[in-house]
A and B are shown apart, each in its own frame.
Chain A
Amino acid sequence: MRTSTSARWSLRLLALAYLTALLAVPVVLILWRTFELGLGAFLASVQTPAAISALNLSLFIVAVVVPLNVVFGIVTALALVRGRFRGKGLLQAVVDLPFAVSPVVVGVSLILLWGAGGWFGALDRAGFKVIFGVPGMVLATLFVTLPFVVREVEPVLHEIGTDQEQAAATLGANGWQTFWRITLPALRWGLTYGVVLTVARALGEFGAVIMVSSGFAGVSQTLTLLVHSRYVDDQNTYGAYAAATLLMGLAVLTLLLMSVLNRTRRTT
């Protein structure tokens, strides 16, 4: 479309103004507020015992969730792409389900299943605390991150087909050898992308996790819960900004990784 210069300029200004008010200024402002007292204050704020414990818990959850998602994500993707069975469409829909469920609803569902009054309440009464314990937070994170690996690996499996695996079989490779030497290397970029998305979401999940956490500082707080409790419970606005900045740094790192991976995937 041949847009007149004035129209083009006004559209551009409108778009940029919207982005500035919604995204740019708030982000810059929080960075400024975090670092206006100097780098030392920021570092001190993210190195309190509560902050370190929160970072450790977040990383622990990531360390549990990522391997589970990788293993089951690949198996699920293989079943969805290669399998021929009834109810495959249903399985596809279930994999997408977590995208449609509100994080709070995830939390409530887990409480109603694993909580003291839930279906598996006997476990809780026997002393194995899922809800208000780390297992509940892991389950909540698993729920919200479930689709990522599957959805990134699936198209790659479609694309590579079975030719390479059949060729490996004719060359004498058994099922495991074929999987480790042919299938997995072919999936590597899609898998890495899925893992990056999983890590980002696992670190950033708030709604589902806060529902099933007891929220004690230094015990059962993840980084996102730390941000919340500092702002709400401790009235420690600066501490909240600092923790938020830390999380934002991780988010930007994720974005960078994603764009690098996208480029790698396109060139290899």
Chain B
Amino acid sequence: MTATLSAGLAGGTQRSTPDPQAAGEAPERPRAPAGRPSRGRPYATGLVTLWLSLVVLLPLAALTVTSTEHGWGGFWDALSAPSALAALRVTVLVAAVVAVLNAVMGTLLAWVLVRDDFPGKAVVNALIDLPFALPTIVASIVLLSLYGPDSPIHVQLNATRYGLVVALAFVTLPFVVRSVQPVLIEADKEVEEAAASLGAGGLTIFRRVILPTLGPAIISGTGLAFARAIGEFGSVVLIGGNIPRHTQVASQYIQQQIEIDQPVNAAAVSVALLAMAFLTLFVLRLVSARSLRREAAS
């Protein structure tokens, strides 16, 4: 066996007869190690920046600049127009209600899916992801079939704020469930048992032991649901009814302003929506950083 191998090695040595360029005085050589594959090279970074700018940043820049086309005064006028203000108010109100609903029901669902056991649990668990996979307009149609004009149970929620809540609750359902579930799986059951052994009742254990552990995950899921809810369009477009100052949400108001060719109004409300979403995500980042620090300290 080694005969061939050694011969091969010898061949390798012969291969390396000094190359005239490399022998003798070494000319100026590049310092950087060549041939290191797939390092972030400058042109890759440039390409990425160009791509992100073209697809994401330039449109948003155009939006932001247009919103102040008539100066800051024009921006404020566009935002404080009664119907704009009403749309923003409805949006935040409904999104807040949905966020709270999610915090409660999402945590409950996560708890049932982790700690409880019943036939068909796997199916229920898979069902949770459906709203993420379902196109929003389909969500709208689906909900209208039960809660719309043809409701077989005679519950008509179309063109009411309840309809908005149902639609937004549908599309944001997975956020809290999916952020609480892993934490609950990881949570140390012994801590709860220790609390029980010290005489704490079910409610006390939930309030004093479980809730503080799940807190960051619930806040994070709720925040994401809120951010999603304030910008949502497809799921509310049919069920909401688009009644100004009652069920018209900000995204519908924006669309309407574009249709009546008022781009500055549309841009101003868009910027307000963006700002709210960013603020929500920023606060979430702070909360998660703080809870990470606390975790690291303990």
- Where the two chains meet, the residues of A that have a C-beta atom closer than 8 Å to any C-beta of B are 1-4, 7-8, 11-12, 14-16, 18-19, 22-27, 29-30, 33, 72, 75-76, 78-85, 91, 94-95, 97-98, 100-114, 117-119, 139, 142-143, 146, 162, 165-166, 168-169, 173-175, 178-179, 182-183, 200, 203-207, 210-211, 223-224, 227-228, 231-232, 237, 240-241, 244, 247-248, 251-252, 254-255, 258-259
Contact = CB atoms under 8 A, between A and B. Distances in A.
A21 to B, nearest CB: 8
A4 to B, nearest CB: 7
A106 B270 CA distance: 9
A8 B112 CA distance: 8
B62 A244 contact: no
B63 A105 contact: yes
Chain B contact surface mostly: helix
A211 B124 CA distance: 35
B37 interface: yes
B37 A84 contact: no
Interface in B219-237: 227, 230-234, 237
Given A1-B115, A101-B60, A113-B59, A72 B133 contact: no
- Range of interface residues on chain B? 35 or more
Interface in B267-282: 267, 270, 273-274, 277-278, 281
B266 A94 contact: no
A4 B203 CA distance: 11
A141 to B, nearest CB: 10
Chain A contact surface mostly: helix
Contacts of B41: 83
B40 A251 contact: no
Contacts of B202: 1-4, 7
Nearest to A248: B138
29 contacts: A1-B205, A1-B206, A7-B202, A11-B111, A18-B105, A26-B143, A29-B152, A30-B142, A75-B47, A76-B48, A78-B38, A104-B255, A105-B63, A106-B59, A107-B255, A107-B258, A108-B63, A108-B267, A112-B63, A118-B62, A139-B59, A169-B36, A204-B134, A204-B136, A206-B237, A207-B234, A211-B255, A240-B141, A251-B135
Given A15-B112, A98-B56, A23 B38 contact: no
A3 B203 CA distance: 9
A85 B136 contact: no
A204 B234 CA distance: 10
Contacts of A244: 137-138, 141-142
Contacts of A25: 146
A255 B174 CA distance: 13
B145 A255 contact: no
B286 interface: no
A112 B277 contact: no
B150 A237 contact: yes
A163 B96 CA distance: 48
B1 interface: no
A107 B267 CA distance: 11
